[in-house]
Copies of this chain bind each other. A is one copy, B any other.
Amino acid sequence: MKTILEAQSTPRQDGFWMPGEYEPQTRIWMLWPNRPDNWRNGAKPAQQAFAEIARAIAQFEPVIIGAKPVDYAAARYLLGDEDNIKVIEMEADDSWIRDCGPTFVINATGAVRAVHWHFNAWGGLVDGLYFPWDKDALVGVKVADLADVDRYRPESFILEGGSIHADGEGTLLTTEMCLLSEGRNPDLTRAEIEGYLSEYLGIDKVIWIKDGIDPEETNGHVDDVACFVAPGEVACIWTEDPDHPFYEVSQQTYAQLSETTDARGRLLKVHKLCVTKEPIYMTAEQVEAIDLVEGTIPRTTEDPCITSYMNFLIVNGGVIVPQYDDPHDSLALDQIQAMFPNRKIVGVQSREVVFGGGNIHCITQQQPAPR
């Protein structure tokens, strides 16, 4: 495999850009959860949830799941003979391939390449979530190699896939809370960060949402708050309940997006997506089933879980949507169906993934199809 280093070129220079998630895909990449200091009960309930999510995706397109060597045999036995699911060995520090994996870019003439960002576990030594993260940092190489695609790599730019959404037509959604955080690229100005997004993703306009809903975990990844559902159209979390923990961010983001134009000058159409009726909390029993180790932030029964319906994954002909056994589950499905009238909407219980700090979008990474 040949690596294209940043010194040689960038995607923009070579005519590549990040497509929208709603564009045709080749496959979805996942990583199998394992670490008992993040997932309760030795990650066994999470593994079942990941398996259900993989099966839901596999109705629409192939899934490759990278399992840590210690889990490989069991994961392969559980899932590896199912249609459209392949389990392979892949070391990683955890299972958030949206963030530690590569971002794929395409060009107009049938090529797909990968951008391998630098990764520091959501904040490095400033406010990262675990240490070390060296195995996560290699996932971009492994996925690009296995996908047989060439790879770009900026010299030192830190970015997670969950902190960006692109429309495939030059516009990118992100949050100031994350991209301007002290633990990412503190020496870069906003303009310099936009320069990286331009060069590596072909972006002409960055829409800077102010905050996300999980300041303590990912520093407010956009993929819990808003996303593109089509060029010129975004979805935004929405609640009118002032007591809901996501109320302020939802109001503020909706107001901002409603007045925003994209790279092509279109005023965005904004779809409202509900939040859960009630905040969801972990029980004492659930919290206690997570190993306590030096250096990780213990979960509590007091912090509301980050149960956004926004963290869905768009696949070929479908959308895989988090469900929580909440009264608003079906409302969320209906609202997402209205955004994607031509796709099949599949709800999957993802509470166990939320307990680990993410959701369906966080544990998946789409590989776009060549044009």
Give chain A's interface residues, CB within 8 Å of chain B.
Answer: 1-3, 69, 72-73, 76, 80-81, 83, 85-91, 138, 141-142, 145-146
Contact = CB atoms under 8 A, between A and B. Distances in A.
Given A81-B1, A81-B2, A91-B69, A86 B138 contact: no
A72 B86 contact: no
Contacts of A73: 138
Copies of this chain present in the complex amount to: 2
Given A1-B85, A3-B81, A89-B142, 5 more contacts: A1-B80, A69-B89, A72-B91, A88-B146, A146-B146
A116 B86 CA distance: 17
Contacts of A88: 142, 145-146
B145 A80 contact: yes
Contact of A145 (B1, B69, B86, B141): B86
A31 to B, nearest CB: 12
B145 A83 contact: no
Contacts of A85: 1
A178 to B, nearest CB: 28
B141 A76 contact: yes
Contacts of A142: 88-89
Contacts of A1: 80-81, 85-86
A88 to B, nearest CB: 6
Contacts of A90: 89
